[in-house]
Structure 1
Amino acid sequence: MTNIKDAYLNTRNKFTDICKGLKTEDYSVQPTEFVSPPKWHLAHTTWFFEQFVLKEFSPEYTVYNDDFAYLFNSYYNNAGERVLRPNRGLMTRPTVDEVYTYRNYVDNKMIAFLDNNLPKEALEIIELGINHEQQHQELFYYDIKYIFGNQPTFPTLENNIALKNITQKQEFICIKEGVYQIGYNSSGFSFDNELGVHKTYIHNFKISNNLTTNAEYIAFIEAGGYTNFNLWHAEGWDYITKNEIAAPLYWHKVKDVWHYYTLDGFKPVEPNKPVTHISMYEAYAYAEWKQMRLPTEFEWEVAAEYLNYGQLWEWTNSAYLPYPNFSKAPGALGEYNGKFMINQHVLRGASIATQENHSRKTYRNFFQPDMRWLFSGIRLAQ
């Protein structure tokens, strides 16, 4: 990283900037287990730098508040006990003001710390912390949209992450069979789950140059896609039946017209924008209906240079598993990715909420197949 202090400050300031449209009451809400309150995100990303940088490498550092490690640790068992995830929204204290005071305290200590001649290990953890905070900035958009999108009046939030219309004619790009190299093999930052460069054999396949649009997905709904069990995995069918799902998340039919909630408000569904807030189950069923399929993550990586991507994370048909020779780092930071390599599917690309320069063609995002609150979409292969 060329200037780590600038990168640190830019990232930290970005988070406070995107929260400027919030009211105090917005910061502590947790409507469901997988949504974290904005206040928690702001404090957790601060705790990361305090816990793994300042406490480890700055002997003179004084912890801001001993309780914060318990309140704002996420899933790092090696770092100690923590509040359970479903209970994050129960915390009215510390207040929003104190969380911002905490951020300022840690930032001031970090700025002074960054003026030192730092060891390589510290620099690597700081770079990881910056990328970690960028992930939480994207999660913030998922979470605040869920918080607002489940309120009766559908509040708006000032933002610059609107989806764009798909204007290019759909074509299918032919990729020739062969042995291809997969994984990150450069000198910049990557997460550990991208490492383990290896070769894989890819058969001939075709992949769409475009994401699936709302209009195309409405055709699937109107053709009975949500009522035809033949299109669905058994688990997916059980999930949509149990939860009475018949359209993407945030979609509502008003006077026979599909509407959806966006951070810009509640409006009629825009036909030429890519369909989003789709679970892997729904993406698979749609592909079945089209008599096509989802690409594997390896096919996606091989084809990435030919694709129009960056609007939405794209579901692949690949389980989230370790690459050859994958190994976890020792201690708490080894819990970052490896322990989640079960019962999750890989998504590739980036989304409108992904921070600049955060993603790359080898980036492996991953979620459980029923998750819909993320900015996810569909790209077909055949």
Structure 2
Amino acid sequence: MTDPALDAEALRERAVASLITARDRTTLLTSCVDGPDLTAQHSPLMSPLVWDLAHIGNQEEQWLLRAVAGHEAIRPEIDTLYDAFEHPRAERPKLPLLPPEEARRYAADVRGRALDVLERAAFHGTRLTEAGFAFGMIAQHEQQHDETMLITHQLRRGPQVLTAPDPEPVPLFTGPAEVLVPGGPFTMGTSDEPWALDNERPAHRREVAPFRIDTTPVTNAAYRAFIEDGGYDEPRWWTAEGWAHIRRNSLTAPLFWRRDGKQWLRRRFGVTEVVPPDEPVLHVCWYEADAYARWAGRRLPTEAEWEKAARYDPAGDRSMRYPWGDAEPAPEHANLGQRHLRPAPAGSYPAGESPLGVRQLIGDVWEWTASDFLPYPGFRAFPYKEYSEVFFGPEYKVLRGGSFAVDPVACRGTFRNWDLPIRRQIFSGFRTARSEDV
């Protein structure tokens, strides 16, 4: 029988480590540039970095200090300034935001108090405190903003300020191009992952017909073949909305790509480099992913197909937490946590392969699916509707798997991301699928 005190201590250690890891990343992303770069809006699609910094602190104060601990508000007057639904991103530079040093002091003050709360917390009693959920939610929230801030750094013009070692080189992948995923039911979503967010719940049975899915994400070389074959000039590959979008915006290649004679270059965190052919393609919108799949005689996988490929273990007829099993992600499993600032070559991380033989389902690039972002049967919003419920509907498409910019705390086999089909600044790629002839 497990000792509840030992369970509580393990939860406490996990929560402390997750919060510290997130804050270390936030500090790096907001200390590598000077004040003007923190307060500037580098794209109307993104907030100033200083807004993200104070928003992180404000959310932590609201949930850990006020909701969990019952403390009085430290800075109630700034709540509306850092309410993501109150002010669209394009308007945030005009708000009376906290200056960088004040934002840093505020976030640090909140964190110190939150760690005191965590030291005394009992991980039971309410849904918010059960298994340390609120602390896990806040760690995930901060890491999601760390990914958002990394996107801002990619959009930022100027010299390189972020560096990281490249992924280990691997031999050119020569394995099978696709993998058969057997038909039949599987368990989708989760009801027992303690820090899973509301849209991942509840676990439910889902029937999936047999299909084949790419062993690795689509590479730059494969996507370049689509470009060179006139993919952006042929309306038959595009949905009506997608064709109108690329025509209206004169899109001819992934974001940050440009042609230089016979080669393609890209800008990556302030450095211009030749597009590496073996990396998964990055910075494509859903319309581009869908058009490529049509051109290739294939389609995007549905969200249920993607999750079955990522979690289903036919030997045990069960759904695992990750493609490699139930163990937490380690460096040999996936490219996560901004450890590298680029995707690893296609075919990397054999230790992270699923039982069916699919690779890189976790990390490297977010993968567009064919599915709209919809609730699971029995969905209940928790702890607030604005995390998921207000986004449900056909306007948003689901992405799965995480990217190199995602921390393991905010990435698992059930984790669901979503965005508008026009978005390209995100670290998005895709893989394709096809129905199995039966």
Q: Calculate the TM-score normalised by the size of structure 2.
A: 0.79
Asked whether 1:50 is paired with 2:55, we answer: no
Instruction: Give the counterpart letter for 1:94 in structure 2.
Output: L
- Structure 2 counterpart of 1:168: 173
Judging changes above 3 Å, is the alpha-carbon distance between structure 1 residues 292 and 83 closer, same or farther for their aligned structure 2 residues? closer
- Structure 2 counterpart of 1:9: 20
- Structure 1 counterpart of 2:329: none
Which one of 96, 99, 104 corresponds to residue 95 of structure 1? Answer: 99
Aligned-pair CA distance for 1:156: 1.6
- Structure 2 counterpart of 1:78: none
Aligned-pair CA distance for 1:90: 2.7
* Preserved CA contact (<8 Å) 1:319 1:344: yes
Which one of 136, 148, 161 corresponds to residue 127 of structure 1? Answer: 136
Show the 5 A alignment for 1:1-382: 1-3=11-13, 4-63=15-74, 65-75=75-85, 82-91=86-95, 93-118=97-122, 120=124, 121-122=128-129, 123-146=132-155, 148=156, 151=157, 154-160=158-164, 167-169=172-174, 170-263=176-269, 265-304=271-310, 305=354, 306-309=357-360, 310-329=363-382, 333-342=384-393, 343-382=395-434
Residue aligned with 2:367, SS: strand
Ranges in structure 2 where 5+ consecutive residues have no aligned partner: 1-10, 311-353
Instruction: Give the counterpart letter for 2:381 in structure 1.
Output: K
> Hey, what's the Cα distance between the residues in 1 that align with 2:50 and 2:79?
15
Residue aligned with 2:120, SS: coil
Instruction: Give the counterpart letter for 2:94 in structure 1.
Output: L
> Hey, what's the Cα distance between the residues in 1 that align with 2:123 and 2:420?
37
- Structure 1 counterpart of 2:324: none
> Hey, what's the Cα distance between the residues in 2 that align with 1:32 and 1:187?
36
> Hey, what's the Cα distance between the residues in 2 that align with 1:99 and 1:161?
30
Deviations 1:208-248 (A, max 9, x none): 11111111111111111001000001000010000111110
* Preserved CA contact (<8 Å) 2:133 2:194: no
> Hey, what's the Cα distance between the residues in 2 that align with 1:314 and 1:164?
22
Aligned-pair CA distance for 1:113: 2.0
Deviations 1:77-115 (A, max 9, x none): xxxxx4343211234742111110111111122122222
> Hey, what's the Cα distance between the residues in 2 that align with 1:60 and 1:253?
56
> Hey, what's the Cα distance between the residues in 2 that align with 1:20 and 1:161?
19
Ranges in structure 1 where 5+ consecutive residues have no aligned partner: 76-81
* Preserved CA contact (<8 Å) 2:254 2:283: yes
Instruction: Give the counterpart letter for 2:247 in structure 1.
Output: T
Q: How much is the aligned-residue C-alpha RMSD, in angstroms?
A: 2.0
Deviating above 6 A after TM superposition, structure 1's stretches of 4 or more consecutive aligned residues are 163-166
Residue aligned with 2:278, SS: coil
> Hey, what's the Cα distance between the residues in 2 that align with 1:108 and 1:191?
25
> Hey, what's the Cα distance between the residues in 1 that align with 2:293 and 2:193?
37
Judging changes above 3 Å, is the alpha-carbon distance between structure 1 residues 95 and 168 closer, same or farther for their aligned structure 2 residues? same
Instruction: Give the counterpart letter for 2:24 in structure 1.
Output: N
Judging changes above 3 Å, is the alpha-carbon distance between structure 1 residues 136 and 93 closer, same or farther for their aligned structure 2 residues? closer
Q: Percent identity?
A: 30
Q: Calculate the TM-score normalised by the size of structure 1.
A: 0.90
Q: How many residues matched?
A: 368
Instruction: Give the counterpart letter for 1:54 in structure 2.
Output: L
- Structure 1 counterpart of 2:5: none
Judging changes above 3 Å, is the alpha-carbon distance between structure 1 residues 92 and 61 closer, same or farther for their aligned structure 2 residues? closer
* Preserved CA contact (<8 Å) 1:312 1:375: yes
Residue aligned with 2:44, SS: coil
Instruction: Give the counterpart letter for 2:37 in structure 1.
Output: D
* Preserved CA contact (<8 Å) 1:28 1:91: no
